Structure 1
Amino acid sequence: MDNYNDTIPQQTTKVKAIQNGVCQRCHQVASGILPDKCVYCRQCIGLGRIDSTDNLIRFKEINKRVYPLSKNSYLTWHGKLTDQQEKVSEKLQLSLRNKRDHLVHAVTGAGKTEMLFKVINAALIQGLRVGLATPRIDVVNELYPRLCEAFKTVSIGKYHGKEFCEPQNEQFIICTTHQLLKFYRSFDLLIIDEVDSFPYVNNPMLLAGARFSVKKNGVQFYLTATPDPELLEKVRNRKIDYSRLNRRFHGGLLPVPENQFYLRPFIKNKKINYKLLNTINHLLLLHKPILIFIPRISELEDYKNTLAKACTKLRIATVYAGDKERQEKVQQFRDSKIDILLTTTILERGVTFPHVQVIVVAADDKIYTTPSLVQIAGRVGRSMDDKSGKVIFCYHRYTKNIRQANRQIREMNQ
């Protein structure tokens, strides 16, 4: 773990924050210049500015076991995995024993979290330190209570930018990928959920942060429904182990999107397209919550105000990354206190809303990649008592990303 105090505890060491022009926290080139000619790092300034006069404090003996061995299981979850889930779980435990990185390629709603329980338990019993990181704050907030319930006797750390606290020495940590920059060579097992997700994917700083947060003899597991070519190439070259699961935990199929072509604008002069309004009204007849994805933050209020006039009795809200009430609104939607939630891509993955129906407005917008469209569709039909639902892609142009998303979903259903 990195710290910034000049007082060094007995088991720590001090290193210069900037060495040879490279930041030792995020391992990127430090290009900022202060008026006194000191160099500082612009890349990770969101975690607090560090410059060439600062030091980082790191724990010593980072590759030695520091947590006690246990003869007893820490797992308090008493659920049962499906046969396919059990096979993936066993492969993960084997990879941990063999110190092999592992890619889990599983459809949305496959129960990836539950498949991790046994390997996390095995690591904790061995006195290993475990980190579970994901790019999105909302996913951290959803995973944390589930894992606290599954490991009731374990003190689990939770770290993300909306709930600031200094990193402690918990054996098991759940955090955003940004927070990994605070943990240098800390984890024996690092699990990265939604490894293909923004802002982690193709981000050199976050990729380096994840790499350097793992001990030199540690292991990384990657979880995703849409792996990138680089990870698949490592699988083909047998550099990492691989598991694939094409079925959801309840055995149901992925919802196949309904594609709707629009000739006129979706919203104009604060009036919503009649075809889109009819689509929303038809979904409302199902008496289920509706999640509507809008590509631009600036458009959220226009859609909200227009829908509020057309649907006067409905509870409608908007949410986006910088929304100060973001966590509260998401929980209200989960608790059925909001009927329609208008959102940006922050809710495209890693969150579960019972019985939700989904509309993607302007699915042809460049902000929606093929993986994000697949993930958005995967929000639907995740409940054991509601295995299907509506996913509607609304567009002016039938783009390559929409076409590939449709194809991938159908292929996974075969």
Structure 2
Amino acid sequence: MTEEKESLAGRQWLVDKVDNSIKEGQTAIPAIENGICQRCGSSCWVRLPSGFLYCRACVGLGRLDEGKLLVRQAAGSHYPARAGMTWTGQLQERQEGVSRFLLEKFAAKEDCLVEAVTGAGKTEMIFPLLAEAFSCGCRVAIATPRIDVVNELYPRLVAAFGEVEIGKYHGREEKEAANEQLVICTTHQLLKYYQAFDLLIIDEIDSFPYAGNPQLHFAAGNAVKKTGSQVFLTATPPEDLLKAARQGKLAIVRLNRRFHCYPLPVPRLDLYVKPFLTKGRLHPKLARRIKMAAKSGHPLLVFLPRIAQMPQYFAAVKRLLPDLRLATVYAQDPDRLEKVEKFRKGDLDLLLTTTILERGVTFKHVWVIIVAADDEIYSAASMVQIAGRVGRDKQDPDGLVLFCYRRYSRQIRSAVKQIKEMNRG
């Protein structure tokens, strides 16, 4: 197979018409057939002045018109059979149990769900599974809804599998397609693949934008070979997967302890009668909490429900603590990746953030405060995930998780209940 064809193995792309560009091993199908987009499975289409339809659901990957063709390159099967694992760490007994479960289901080509508390070591638990897949010459993808999680996973996997070619793909880093044996990508990138992977692992399965998105679920199913299997990872599984597990349609394994065996930090609750921010000044109670956290020396994540609130909170915190190194970050922030990395390295003391950092990222010794935890934007699952940022280091297994609210909501009550139940195990 030529280098060009190898780079396109298991991928799909749009062309205007069948011509000499269609080569051996490639097939071309109508991009829209019977009103259904063949790339994302959507019927969410718009009619152009020309009379043709185009798919609105996946237009971010290039406009898919009714008159175009979707070309698919057959997946390769030439990867060397090697373990390739250079990780020398050890799994604990509970983690080994999960790892054995994954190996059994992979051998049986069964899909499965891993429900493990935040900080349980899900990434390390899949290392033996990856090693087994590579030893069989399989191609693997690890997909996650969040760019930040892709960027965090990539160096860890490169360090753990130094003998395996690994690719990283997301919308903030444009690169030419290659044929790496391990692909780490956002779930949107799966729309570019067709029956490419023997094993697809989806991390943070319940996270936006993957959760509740039929187009991305369709893409995930399309990206796996017919003989392949999927593994779903999360601390807060969605109800549809739990229902499938209860009905015996999906294998499930649970781990209710962190790798260091300490309990999850239980959130402290702060009731506020007056607004959190008035005339550019923080509520005195919130100001005291932030001062206390700053004095402790712990890096602090402060979650806000709205991007529009960030400038006012930034100014208020700066007025309160002029010497504090702080920044704001949100999903479309052009400097998002750089700010997150600065916070990780300790070059920032406080980061005002949206739920974009609710999950999948690890910061040493971090504390968290949720402002307006009763806001509708926070689900119980998202608050559990936010709380899970704290206490992940075995040398620092506790820390501040603070929910600030004006109304004790059902979601707050549910989040606290779930954390306490996880600790009871």
Q: TM-score, normalised by structure 2?
A: 0.95
| Partner SS for 2:128 | helix
Q: Distance in 2 between matches of 1:375 and 1:201?
A: 15
- C-alpha deviations, 1:95-145, integer Å up to 9, x for none? 000011111010000000000011111111111111100000000000000
Q: Is the 8 A contact 2:79 2:181 kept in 1?
A: no
Matched, 1:28 2:38: no
- Where has structure 1 moved over 4 Å in runs of 4 or more? none
Q: Distance in 1 between matches of 2:319 and 2:417?
A: 37
Q: What's the CA shift for 1:384?
A: 2.1
Matched, 1:307 2:300: no
| Partner SS for 2:199 | strand
Matched, 1:51 2:61: no
Q: Which amino acid aligns with 1:155?
A: E
Counterpart position of 1:148: 158
- Aligned-pair identity (%): 51
Q: Is the 8 A contact 1:167 1:182 kept in 2?
A: no
- C-alpha deviations, 1:317-369, integer Å up to 9, x for none? 00000100000000000011001100000000000000000000000000000
Q: Distance in 1 between matches of 2:224 and 2:145?
A: 17
Q: Is the 8 A contact 1:18 1:30 kept in 2?
A: no
Q: Is the 8 A contact 1:105 1:224 kept in 2?
A: yes
Q: 1:139 aligns with which of 144, 149, 153?
A: 149
Q: Distance in 1 between matches of 2:145 and 2:281?
A: 35
Matched, 1:376 2:386: yes
Q: 1:279 aligns with which of 279, 289, 296?
A: 289
The 5 A counterparts of 1:359-370 are: 359-370=369-380
Q: Distance in 2 between matches of 1:125 and 1:59?
A: 24
Matched, 1:245 2:255: yes
Counterpart position of 1:16: 30
Q: 1:40 aligns with which of 54, 78, 94?
A: 54
Counterpart position of 1:404: 414
Counterpart position of 2:4: none
Matched, 1:348 2:362: no
The 5 A counterparts of 1:196-235 are: 196-235=206-245
Q: Which amino acid aligns with 1:353?
A: F
- The total of aligned residue pairs comes to 410
Q: Which amino acid aligns with 2:29?
A: V
Over aligned residue pairs, what C-alpha RMSD do you find? 1.1
Q: 2:124 aligns with which of 114, 121, 125?
A: 114
Counterpart position of 2:3: none
Q: Which amino acid aligns with 1:45?
A: V
Q: Is the 8 A contact 2:112 2:230 kept in 1?
A: yes
Q: Distance in 1 between matches of 2:264 and 2:313?
A: 28
Q: Which amino acid aligns with 1:11?
A: G
Q: Distance in 2 between matches of 1:209 and 1:388?
A: 39
- C-alpha deviations, 1:128-166, integer Å up to 9, x for none? 111100000000000000001111111111111111224
Q: TM-score, normalised by structure 1?
A: 0.97
Q: Distance in 2 between matches of 1:90 and 1:176?
A: 27
Q: Distance in 2 between matches of 1:206 and 1:73?
A: 30
Q: What's the CA shift for 1:168?
A: 2.2
Q: What's the CA shift for 1:264?
A: 0.5
Counterpart position of 1:66: 77
Q: Distance in 2 between matches of 1:347 and 1:224?
A: 15
Q: Which amino acid aligns with 2:175?
A: C
Q: What's the CA shift for 1:185?
A: 1.4
Q: Which amino acid aligns with 1:200?
A: Y
Q: What's the CA shift for 1:68?
A: 3.3
Q: Distance in 2 between matches of 1:170 and 1:49?
A: 27
Q: Distance in 1 between matches of 2:299 and 2:80?
A: 46
Q: Is the 8 A contact 2:152 2:361 kept in 1?
A: yes
Unmatched runs of 5 consecutive residues or more in structure 1: none
